[in-house]
Amino acid sequence: MTADRPLRADAQRKRDALLATAREVFDSGGFFDLRFDDFARLAGVGTGTLYRHFPTREALAEAVYHGEIAAMCDRIRRLRAEMPAAEALATFLRGMVDHMKAHEGLARTLSTLMATRSDALAEGSRALEDAVTDLVAAAVREGTVRADVDAGAVMMVLHGIGAAHNRPGWRAEADDVITLVLDGLRRPV
């Protein structure tokens, strides 16, 4: 399989089934409880198919991670197309807290598994930061967000919220932090 040749439809379905299965297992927090070959059985494909698409557990985790990042970047673009940039930014940030809460197992699994794969994490983080940068810049151009704050600060807040997910009352505190950030980003009138 080459990177520039698309997969046959049946191969793409099997790859998608493996990714969906991995994501479900990640969400449940049971990723480390399974043998790698079990992903093939759960997805309804052969082990050869698993290894052809994802030769290692890390390769499977990386593909799930990149899928998550792509979905977040797409969400940012859709929100930006549907509403003013400041509103899109607020909706995205609040949605990220919802996403973190709904997929705690996924976040823990990916961060544990990929802790040593800094290149993969860095590439995904850059893609997401680029999308957030575009959104913040659009809000600055609209005159609704201060020009002296960049997307790096917004990303730092999201990382901090994610890192604190084990705190009691995490969800309410995360919502409060997003409110503080949005208030702080607002351009003074």
Residue 111 has pLDDT above 70, yes or no: no
End position of a domain, from candidates 35, 55, 75: 55
Our count of domains for the chain comes to 2
Per-residue model confidence (pLDDT) at position 1: 46
User: Is there a single domain that holds both residue 9 and residue 76?
Assistant: no
User: Is there a single domain that holds both residue 111 and residue 158?
Assistant: yes
User: Is there a single domain that holds both residue 9 and residue 98?
Assistant: no
Question: Which residues touch 167 (CB under 8 Å, ≥6 apart)?
Answer: 173
Please report whether residue 60 resides in a domain: no
Over residues 130-144, the pLDDT tens digits come to 999 999 999 999 999
User: Is there a single domain that holds both residue 17 and residue 36?
Assistant: yes
Q: What is the mean pLDDT of residues 18-47?
A: 88
Instruction: Give dist(CA 112, CA 153) in Å, integer.
Output: 24
Give the model's confidence band at 5: pLDDT under 50 very low, under 70 low, under 90 confident, else very high.
confident
Q: What is the mean pLDDT of residues 144-171?
A: 89
Burial of 169 (0-12, 13-18, 19+ CB in 10 A): exposed
User: Is there a single domain that holds both residue 22 and residue 75?
Assistant: no
User: Is there a single domain that holds both residue 162 and residue 122?
Assistant: yes
Task: Look up the domain containing 119 and give its range.
Answer: 65-185
Q: What percent of the chain has pLDDT over 70?
A: 89
Residue pair 119/57 in contact (Cβ under 8 Å)? The answer is: no
User: Is there a single domain that holds both residue 42 and residue 85?
Assistant: no
Over residues 83-95, the pLDDT tens digits come to 999 999 999 999 9
User: Is there a single domain that holds both residue 181 and residue 92?
Assistant: yes
Instruction: Give dist(CA 181, CA 89) in Å, integer.
Output: 11
Q: Which of 10, 103, 9 is nearest to 64 (CA)?
A: 103
Check which CATH number belongs to the domain holding 156 and give it.
1.10.357.10
User: Is there a single domain that holds both residue 112 and residue 176?
Assistant: yes
| Inter-CA distances, 120 with 1, 60, 73, Å | 20, 12, 16
User: Is there a single domain that holds both residue 108 and residue 179?
Assistant: yes
